[in-house]
Chain A
Amino acid sequence: VAEGTPNIPYHPYRDPYKNVRTTSISLRNAMHNCADLNHVSVSVGKGHTIHLFSIDGMVDIKAAQTNIIKPLLNLTGSPFEILDGALKGGIHALNMKKAHDLSDALSGLLAGLFLIVSNEVGFSVLVDMRAPEHRSITEPTSENIIKGSKDCFVENLRTNTATLRQKIRSADLKFEEFTVGRRTNTTVALTYMDGIANDSLISSIREKIESIDIDRLISASDFETYLVDENESFFPRYIFTEMVDRFAGGILDGKVGVIIHGLPIAYIIPSTLPTIMRTTEDLQKNYLLSSTIIILRYLALFISLVFPAFYVAVSSFSQEMIPTDLLLSIIASKSGVPFDTFTEVLILLVAFELLFEAGLRLPNPIGQSVSIIGTLIVGQATVDAKLMSPIVIIVIALSGISSFILPNQDLSAAIRLCRFALLFGAAVAGLYAIVILLCLLVYHLVSLETFGVPYLTPISSSSGANIRNSAVLKQLQKNVKFRNLSVKPKNVRRQK
């Protein structure tokens, strides 16, 4: 325990309501000061009292009145017979279950179920009468698609599973649900195609989810932190997408998906660099066009990573490499600039990151204004004031634009971070440092694995065909007979 922090021993999670009998009093005690708790007591049978609980706003009240309360009033007998009769069709609901203790009852109640309690019976009944109020399916906001389905994930897990089920109408599509978060009790659905996805991959991700022991799971990072070891690398090793068809494609390729209630995105695991470099659109265009664009993306990755460092290295150490005309132009553009090349590039890169973050966090109209002001100030004014040379602005702009071409924001951020390392290296030892740091980067990427799959698969493969497939898509109908072998699918063949 670090000095100055309270010495808090580890407590294994213990549910305080486990094995506690559900009564109206115990439930009200557990939920005291919860203003959104609805509690109604009704007399049924021969003077027996039944307690009905729900969370305000989560239950469809009209449907509950029609399908639960009215039929319940018609039931006769002892409280046990009434609750047992309700479970056996006495009330009109498709989804009902028994809750044997207070813990089960509370978790169902807080999930939006309708709870029927009798103080004289040892169990309670949970009825699914949830209000269908959630954000409707809209077009994706972070991934643009021109040709293809536009439905995307929403915050509601059940809506997401239903949308996915509409894409893959197969009994082999499995959803395994887990509850993660001691306090939030968030439902996490492990999704895979039975008979295609590798069993060991499924069980390793299942174990990973089961091992998560945290208070809350309300944001993406809460889950991502536990999914992969972030100390190992800052490169993304999973794809998150809000596109249902991209997710379905990944599942059908033998990968495993994770959908979290409350998040409008889903994860495809494992993911390698070549898969991260692809988008949904790639499969919907002519394969030659898509292949060209993918190659362009790799070029953009390289430019984004290396270009600022290369400029510093060449203009400070290896001026003989620059064509004479260009050299003279650079010298002319740099005359009167008070900073050395490295400082110039560093300042502009930091300014670029500031502008990028500002544009990201601010609402759209303000973000655009910040971008325009930033462009004018950082671009035009600094050049006019001879604070920066135009050539450096061009270098940073080209590098920045290239980073935006990358389809994954996490990858783009990782590349931007590496860019700084290369820049510092270039300032120390020029091109030698760039080459050595790139070797280190490649070494790191080659040694990286996600759930047993090498990160650079299939680029790192010894097979020439696999390497070609990483960048060049083959014509779907004729050539892609087999699934990507990197995730070791149980069923390799995709078509006849």
Chain B
Amino acid sequence: MRKIIPLLLLLTLCSCSFFPHSYEIENLAVIEALGIDINENGDLTLIAVSRKGRLSEGSDANSNDTVLFTATGRTINSCLYTLQHLSDKNVFLSHAQYYIISEAAASSNLFDILDFLARDNYSRLSTAVFICRDSTAANLIAKCSNSFIADRLEKLTQERNILFSAISASMYDTLAQLDRTGIAVIPVLAADSYSDTDYITLDGCAVIRDGEFCGLLDQRTSNSLNFLKNEIYSESITIDYKGVTVAVNLTSANRTYDFKVSGNIPTSAHISVSVTATIDEFRDNDIVINEQTLDGLSDALNDEIYNRLSSAILKAQEMNIDFLNVGTYFELSYPVHFSEIKDWNKIFSTLPISLDVDTNISSSYDLNQPVKVTK
């Protein structure tokens, strides 16, 4: 026995020589972002974004030197094969942090694309997925010629909470949502219309159903998804109070669902959203912030959130897609009933949903006197 165990381990070691070939690290073309597009001929186009590497201090090379590889093919596999031929290094997708999929490519079959990418053992399931609006992925990437797109996307992702702009979607989240409910919501990228520079920005969300692209949600509707998912982490929202622009900081949101059921079918749903906030910025020197003011601000915030949520619910019911995940909460409350429902989306589209928003501005600046600016 003393001899057999080391022998077995050594044999296992010998068998390891059949494991994948080693690659020298400097021979890797590390792809950090991958754009997936469809060209005018209907073929898939891959745009792989790499950078030449962070060179040492004193080097004359630009640290943001971007290398773009573009390949076209009928399938992603053939595109990757072509990419490998274009590069003098080994195309290495394991470090891809962003997949940017054009609206057209997502419309054809998003699930197949993500499924193919996820099958690579070494691909990261945390890779963020974006859909690009009004532009091809190639154009969008090309706009970031001066600043490295991966850096810009990283910045956007970090600012997501601050901007209160969109939800995030990793490849794992997207596939898990598609697998569980058949519906996924993916953030959308667009060229920044307010800037002449080459910036891109987040602009709403795309709704995917059963792997097919179904439509886009605007920014306001996308924001409301955060309330329904309890994903509020110190986010800012602007409201109008008596003609004064007020920025309030949302500190928490708590949402509850209540369903009324007849037989196995829900007859109505009630969503209660409780939000707490503080005042961030108040651009008026004449209004005293007292309890009355706070009540007024709460009402204004109530209306704003109510409108956003209402429009999101309306949009979901119009699209006949429960991207608000109301069905998931119904399943949690009534698992037996839900299991007997064949087409939840059909029920959802006609389900009367009432909404109740309770806002509490819990604290504010300690201003009891109007601030008078002396000229």
Q: Is the interface of A mostly helix, strand, loop or mixed?
A: helix
Known A-B contacts A324-B32, A333-B56; A428 and B26 likewise in contact (beta carbons under 8 Å): no
Complex CA distance for A439 and B97, rounded to whole angstroms: 35
- Which residues of chain B from 1 to 52 have any CB-CB distance to chain A below 8 Å in the complex? 2, 5-6, 9-10, 12-13, 16-17, 19-20, 22-26, 28, 30, 32, 51
Interface pair A332/B13, CB less than 8 Å apart: no
Whether the pair B56, A334 counts as a contact (CB closer than 8 A) is no
Q: Which residues of A contact B10 (CB under 8 A)?
A: 436, 440
A318 — nearest CB in chain B belongs to which residue? B122
Q: 0/1 per residue, A313-346, Cβ < 8 Å to B?
A: 0011101100011011111111101001100000
Judged by a CB distance under 8 angstroms, whether A425 is at the interface is yes
User: Is the CB–CB distance between A319 and B28 below 8 Å?
Assistant: yes
Cβ A320 vs Cβ B95 within 8 A: yes
Q: Specify the chain B residue showing the minimal Cβ separation from A447.
A: B2
**A428 with B30, Cβ < 8 A, contacts A332-B54, A335-B53, A436-B12 known:** no
Given A319-B28, A327-B25, A428-B16, check contact A335 B6 (CB 8 Å): no
Nearest residue in B to A316 (C-beta to C-beta)? B22
Give chain B's interface residue range (CB within 8 Å of chain A): 20 to 34
Residues of chain A within 8 A (CB-CB) of B12 are 436
Which of chain B's residues have a CB closer than 8 A to the CB of A337? 26
**Cβ contacts under 8 Å, B9 to chain A:** 436, 439-440, 443
- Say which size band chain A's interface belongs to: 20 to 34
CB distance from B22 to the nearest CB of A (A): 4
A429 interface residue (CB < 8 Å to B): yes
Determine if B145 is an interface residue (Cβ-Cβ < 8 Å): no
Question: Which B residues are in CB contact (< 8 Å) with A333?
Answer: 56
Q: Tell me if B92 is interfacial: C-beta within 8 Å of chain A.
A: yes
Interface residues in A205-253 (C-beta closer than 8 Å to B): none
**A62-114 interface with B by 8 A CB criterion:** none
- Chain B residues, CB < 8 A from A427: 22
A324 near B95 with CB under 8 A, answer: yes
In the docked arrangement, what's the CA distance between A235 and B51, Å?
47
Known: A320-B95, A436-B13. A332 touches B25 (CB 8 A): no
Contact B22 A430, beta carbon cutoff 8 Å: yes
A429-B17, A432-B16 are contacts. A330–B25 as well, Cβ < 8 Å? yes
Compute how far the CA of A3 lies from the CA of B281 in the bound complex, rounded to whole angstroms: 97
Measured between beta carbons, the chain B residues less than 8 angstroms from A447 are 2
The residue from A325, A331, A428, A436 contacting B25, defined by CB atoms under 8 A apart = A331
CB of A433 closer than 8 Å to a CB of B = yes
Asked whether B94 lies within 8 Å of A433 as measured between CB atoms, the reply is no
A427–B55 Cα distance when bound, in Å, is: 26
* Of A317, A324, A425, the contact of B13 (CB 8 Å cutoff): A425
Given A317-B19, A429-B17, is A327 in contact with B30 using a C-beta cutoff of 8 Å? yes
- Point out the residues of chain A lying under 8 angstroms from B13, CB to CB: 425, 428-429, 432-433, 436-437
Q: Judge whether A320 and B16 touch: CB under 8 Å.
A: no
For B97, give its contact among A324, A428, A444 (CB under 8 Å). Answer: A324
CA distance A433 to B11 in the complex (A): 11
Q: Which residue of A lies closest to B95 (CB)?
A: A324
Given A330-B25, A436-B9, A443-B6, 5 more pairs with CB closer than 8 A: A316-B24, A316-B25, A332-B56, A341-B25, A429-B13
* B54–A328 CB distance below 8 A: yes
Interface residue ranges, B against A (CB under 8 Å): 2, 5-6, 9-10, 12-13, 16-17, 19-20, 22-26, 28, 30, 32, 51, 53-56, 92, 94-95, 97, 122, 124
For the complex formed, measure the closest distance between the CB of B161 and the CB atoms of chain A, giving whole angstroms: 22
B16 touches A429 (CB 8 A): yes
Total A-B pairs in contact (CB under 8 Å)? 84
Complex contact A332–B55 (CB within 8 A): yes
Write 22 A-B pairs (CB below 8 A) sorted by A numbering: A316-B23, A317-B20, A319-B23, A319-B28, A319-B92, A320-B94, A324-B95, A330-B25, A332-B53, A332-B55, A334-B26, A335-B26, A340-B24, A428-B13, A429-B17, A429-B19, A432-B13, A432-B16, A433-B13, A436-B12, A436-B16, A440-B6
Q: How far is the CA of A135 from the CA of B79 in the complex (A)?
A: 80
With a 10 A CB-CB cut-off, give which of A337, A432, A436, A440 has the most chain B CB atoms: A436
Contacts of B22 in A (CB 8 A): 316-317, 427, 430
Contact yes or no, B30 A433, CB < 8 A: no
- CB-CB under 8 A from A320, the residues of chain B are 94-95, 122, 124
Footprint of B on A, CB under 8 Å?
315-317, 319-320, 324-325, 327-335, 337, 340-341, 425, 427-430, 432-433, 436-437, 439-440, 443-444, 447
Tell me the minimal C-beta distance from A329 to chain B in angstroms.
6
Tell me the nearest residue of chain A to B18, going by C-beta: A429
* Neighbouring B residues of A436 by C-beta, 8 Å: 9-10, 12-13, 16
Measured CA separation A330–B6 after assembly (Å): 36
Closest approach, in angstroms, between the C-beta of A422 and any C-beta of chain B?
11
Distance between A73 CB and nearest chain B CB, rounded to angstroms: 71
Contact A428 B17 (CB under 8 A): yes
Q: In whole angstroms, how far apart are the Cα atoms of A332 and B53 in the complex?
A: 5
A328 touches B26 (CB 8 A): no
Q: Which 9 A-B pairs have the closest CB atoms?
A: A429-B16, A320-B94, A316-B22, A332-B53, A320-B122, A334-B26, A432-B16, A315-B25, A324-B95
A464–B101 alpha-carbon span in the complex (Å): 54
CB distance from B309 to the nearest CB of A (A): 38
B5 touches A443 (CB 8 A): yes
Residue from A324, A331, A440, A444 with most neighbouring chain B CB atoms (10 Å):
A331
Which residues in B have their C-beta under 8 angstroms from that of A430? 16, 19, 22
**Closest CB-CB distance, B151 to chain A, in whole Å?**
11
Q: For the complex, what is the distance from the CA of A350 to the CA of B32, rounded to whole Å? A: 36
A460 to chain B, nearest CB (A): 15
Q: Is the CB of A331 within 8 A of B20?
A: no
Minimal beta-carbon separation of A139 from chain B (angstroms): 45
Chain A residues with CB under 8 Å of B25's CB are 315-316, 319, 327, 330-331, 334, 341
Question: What chain A residues lie within 8 Å of B51 (beta carbons)?
Answer: 328
Chain B residues whose C-beta falls within 8 Å of the C-beta of A330 in the assembled complex: 25
Cross-chain contact A327 with B95 (CB below 8 angstroms):
yes
Q: A432 touching B53 by the CB < 8 A rule?
A: no
A339–B356 CA distance with the chains assembled, in angstroms: 68
Q: Cβ of B28: which chain A residues have Cβ within 8 Å of it?
A: 319, 327, 331
Q: Is the CB of B30 within 8 A of A328?
A: yes
A211 to B5, CA, bound (A): 34
Least CB separation from A336: chain B residue: B26
Give the residue name and chain of the B residue nearest to A427 (CB): B22
Q: For residue A439, which residue of chain B has the nearest CB?
A: B9
Min Cβ gap B216→A in Å is 30
Name the B residues within 8 Å of A341 (CB-CB).
Answer: 24-25
CB distance from B115 to the nearest CB of A (A): 19
Chain A residues near B16 (CB, 8 Å)? 428-430, 432-433, 436
Q: Measured between C-beta atoms, what is the minimum distance from A440 to chain B in Å?
A: 5
Point out the residue from A331, A340, A439 that lies within 8 Å of B53, measured CB to CB: A331
Rounded to whole angstroms, the CA-CA distance of A443 and B2 in the bound complex is: 9
Chain A positions within 8 Å of B5 at CB level: 443
Point out which of B10, B26, B124 has the most chain A C-beta atoms below 10 A from its C-beta. Answer: B26
Q: Which residues from chain A contact B54 at a C-beta distance below 8 Å?
A: 325, 328-329, 332
Within the complex, the shortest CB–CB distance from B116 to chain A, in Å, comes to 17
Write out the residue numbers on chain B whose beta carbons fall within 8 Å of the beta carbon of A328: 30, 51, 53-54
Least CB distance from A215 to B in Å reads 35
Docked Cα-Cα span, A331 to B24, in Å, equals 9
Bound-state CA distance A308–B286 (Å) is 69
In the complex formed, the residue of B with least CB distance to A317 is B22
**What residue of chain A has the Cβ atom nearest to residue B123's Cβ?**
A320
The docked-state distance in angstroms from the alpha carbon of A122 to that of B2 is 60
A337 to B55, CA, bound (A): 14
Assembled-state Cα–Cα distance A309/B134 (Å): 50
Contact across chains for A331 and B30 when beta carbons are under 8 A apart: yes
B19 near A432: Cβ-Cβ < 8 Å: yes
Q: Which residues of B have CB within 8 Å of A324?
A: 30, 32, 95, 97
Q: Which residues of B contact A429 (CB under 8 A)?
A: 13, 16-17, 19
